Structure 1
């Protein structure tokens, strides 16, 4: 009599320190849903996780569940009421060059081009309020004039599930729902930016070009910034940019799963509690 086949689950349940350490040694990207025993793990993202894992591949993207009360390493996340996701990535040095990236196929079955870069990159989003007013081309021109190279450009409407993950570090803030709904309200232009010249790193340079988050503040302090020129009021401030290199890696992995990371491999969990 043959043995039963082991059931394949989407999310591994990490309940002991041994399983936690085993999870940390997994090659590829691992997304850990840290939940509280009294409310359980986040269910709305499961369908998104399933879609992402099918696209990326079973051996490159992993999902896990971990109850904060069961693991000492998660002590600082205990008692929280908002969803918390930690991201860990380990590059597999044994993989051949052509297999070192996460890739997926288009709906029509044709292979999608994989964009790669040896330079530091950041995410830029031209938000729906700027796109609907026809300002996309103007903003892109200003981005290029400022010395940025655009490695990838895609216009699409993001999903609510994507944006809840995207802004999960702000889930406890009053503005959270407004941010999520605004980014889902219409098409955005998603860009991967890098720089070929200049002393500033690409993340800092892009944030300086955007200007202060509030358009009114931007008009007073940096009138030449993009938010001063194209933003109206919060959260309609025309553009988004990653806060730092870790945030850029997380956001790019979420919105551009086919992008090949060369020098932006995450080594620490992302725990942004302040904006």
Structure 2
């Protein structure tokens, strides 16, 4: 199984080595890894499920403000494994519910939460 992953500007490139180490430790392999600067159009598509929320515009502005690392991860139950590793969207919640998640360790706000998991 494959899944899309993104290391956001608050985590990339600063925490890339640590993030990748944890991804690999969970048994996932990196099939595609590319640094990109997302266009507004692509970012809006990635976050289309949030279009009705007030945070949508700020989120799109944030992920298009600097380079990000786009990945395709592969492994058994890759989607579930990646989502669990990412943790709850809000890092404050993640610190209580999933202390070892990427968002608990590297995120600071619901917007600046280190990674995107889809």
TM range (shorter): over 0.9
Q: Which has the larger radius of gyration?
A: 1
Q: What residue in structure 1 maps to residue 7 of structure 2?
A: 126
| TM superposition shift of 1:230 | 0.4
| TM superposition shift of 1:168 | 2.3
SS in 2 for 1:223: coil
Q: What residue in structure 2 maps to residue 204 of structure 1?
A: 80
Q: What residue in structure 2 maps to residue 261 of structure 1?
A: none
CA distance in 2, matches of 1:187, 1:161: 15
Q: What are the Cα deviations for residues 186-213 of structure 1, in whole angstroms up to 9, with x where unaligned?
A: 0111000011x5xxx2111110011111
Q: What residue in structure 1 maps to residue 90 of structure 2?
A: 214
Which residue, 217, 232, 242 being the options, matches 2:108? 232
Instruction: Give the count of matched residue pairs.
Output: 118
Q: How does 1:1-275 map to 2 (within 5 A)?
A: 120-132=1-13, 134-195=14-75, 197=76, 201-242=77-118
Does structure 1 retain, via aligned residues, the 8 Å contact 2:6–2:117? yes
Unaligned runs of 5+ in 2: none
CA distance in 1, matches of 2:97, 2:48: 29
**Structure with the greater relative contact order (CA < 8 A, sep ≥ 6): 1 or 2?**
2
| TM superposition shift of 1:165 | 2.2
| TM superposition shift of 1:229 | 0.4
CA distance in 2, matches of 1:169, 1:236: 17
Does structure 1 retain, via aligned residues, the 8 Å contact 2:91–2:108? yes
Does structure 1 retain, via aligned residues, the 8 Å contact 2:26–2:81? no
CA distance in 1, matches of 2:50, 2:97: 25
Report the aligned-residue RMSD.
1.1
TM-score, normalised to structure 1, is 0.42
